[in-house]
Amino acid sequence: MYKFFAFLDRMKYIRRWSLMRSVREENIMEHTEQVAVIAHALALIGNRMFGKKTDAEKAALYALYHETGEVITGDLPTPIKYFNEDIRSAYKDLEKNACVKLLGMLPEELKADYETYVQPDTDRYEYKLAKAADKISAYLKCVEEVKAGNTEFKKAKTSTLKAVKALEMEEVKYFMENIAPAYELTLDELD
């Protein structure tokens, strides 16, 4: 059992955005925490603002485990991951096998509890919120980098924003209109 958690702890060493120069390096553990917070917020926004009955904690847990396979595979940059269907399919299989390997490190009594999140039901709305939160997190990273003067993220910022808007989810639209603009502000402007 200890091996599963030791592997997950490796997330803090795996860099994100490995092909793009970053002003501030981000590891998968930091990214995962941000995605979990955003997924939780999206669920709460949906519930409070739009009368939905989404399990906010479940959305946060889907987000918390959404990069689990990467502790073995590492992070593959988006342009490579989605270059063509063969590569995308092969990488998905690789990630799935990595998740199976990690789940195999758990005692039998706990496997089903973790399997729910490590190999999620992708039709669940909470999972879809976690995926939306992942895209929003990527957009916010681009905002942070461009704000710091890193023009290498300009194109990624535009294309990621387009992908976020294409989700057409009420919670996402609300977040992007009411919360995301604060990420453009300086520390003095947040005061």
- Write the secondary structure of the chain as one string of H (helix), E (strand) and C (coil): CHHHHHHHHHHHHCECCCCCCCCCCCEHHHHHHHHHHHHHHHHHHHHHHHCCCCCHHHHHHHHHCCCCCHHHHCCCCHHHHCCCHHHHHHHHHHHHHHHHHHHCCCCHHHHHHHHHHHCCCCCCHHHHHHHHHHHHHHHHHHHHHHHCCCHHHHHHHHHHHHHHHCCCCHHHHHHHHHCHHHHHCCHHHHC
Q: Please check the confidence at residue 6 and state whether its pLDDT lies above 80.
A: no
* Residue-range domain boundaries for the chain: 2-190
> What is 2-190's CATH superfamily?
Hypothetical protein af1432 (1.10.3210.10)
pLDDT tens string 52-80: 999 999 999 999 999 888 887 776 666 67
Q: Please check the confidence at residue 130 and state whether its pLDDT lies above 90.
A: yes
Q: Please check the confidence at residue 1 and state whether its pLDDT lies above 60.
A: no
What is the rounded average pLDDT of the residues 97-102? 90
What is the rounded average pLDDT of the residues 139-161? 93
pLDDT tens string 153-176: 899 899 999 999 999 999 999 999
Residue 17 has a pLDDT of: 53
**Overall pTM > 0.95:** no
